[in-house]
Amino acid sequence: MIVIHSLSGGGAERVAVDMCAYWLRHGCRVTLVTQSGRESDAYPVPEGVDRRTLGLAGASGNRLMGAIANLRRILALRRLIKKLRPNVVLGMMTTASVLAVAAARGMSCRVIATEHTHPPAQALPPAWEKMRLRAYPNAHAVVALTSGTAAWLEQHVPGSQVTVIPNAVRWPLDAGEPVVPPPPREGRRRLLAVGRLHPHKGFDVLLRAFAQLVEHFPDWDLVILGEGDEREALQRQIEDDGLAGRVSMPGRVGNLSDWYRESDLYVLSSRVEGLSNTLLEAMAGGLPVVAFDCETGPREIIRDGIDGVLVTPVEDDEALAAHLGDLMARPEWREALARRAIDVRDRFSTARVMALWNHLFGFR
CATH of domain 189-345: 3.40.50.2000
Q: Per the CATH hierarchy, to which homologous superfamily does domain 2-168+349-361 belong? A: Glycogen Phosphorylase B; (3.40.50.2000)
Alpha-carbon gap, residue 215 to 134, rounded angstroms: 55
3-state secondary structure labels for all residues of 96-150: HHHHHHHHCCCCCCEEEEEECCCHHHCCCCHHHHHHHHHHHHHCCEEEECCHHHH
Fold match between 2-168+349-361 and 189-345?
A: yes
Q: Print burial letters for 248-271: b (CB count within 10 Å at least 16), e (below 16).
A: bbbebbbbbbbbbeebbbbbbbbb
Cα–Cα distances in angstroms (integers) from residue 6 to residues 12, 142, 208, 292, 308, in the given order: 10, 20, 34, 29, 33
Distances (CA, A) of 315 to 57, 195, 208: 35, 16, 10
pLDDT at 17: 95
Alpha-carbon Rg for the chain, nearest whole angstrom, is 21
d(CA 262, CA 191): 10
Low-confidence ranges of the chain (pLDDT < 70): 364
Specify the pLDDT at position 364: 67
Domain residue limits, the chain: 2-168+349-361, 189-345
pTM of the predicted structure, to 2 decimals: 0.90
Element (H, E) at 22: helix 11-25
Q: How far is Cα 3 from Cα 92, in angstroms, rounded to an integer?
A: 6
> How far is the CA of 132 from the CAs of 100, 135, 158, 273, in angstroms?
11, 5, 11, 20
pLDDT value, residue 64: 86
Handedness of CA 137, 10, 168, 193 (dihedral sign): negative
Q: State the burial class of residue 358 (Cβ atoms within 10 Å of its Cβ: 0-12, 13-18, 19+).
A: middle
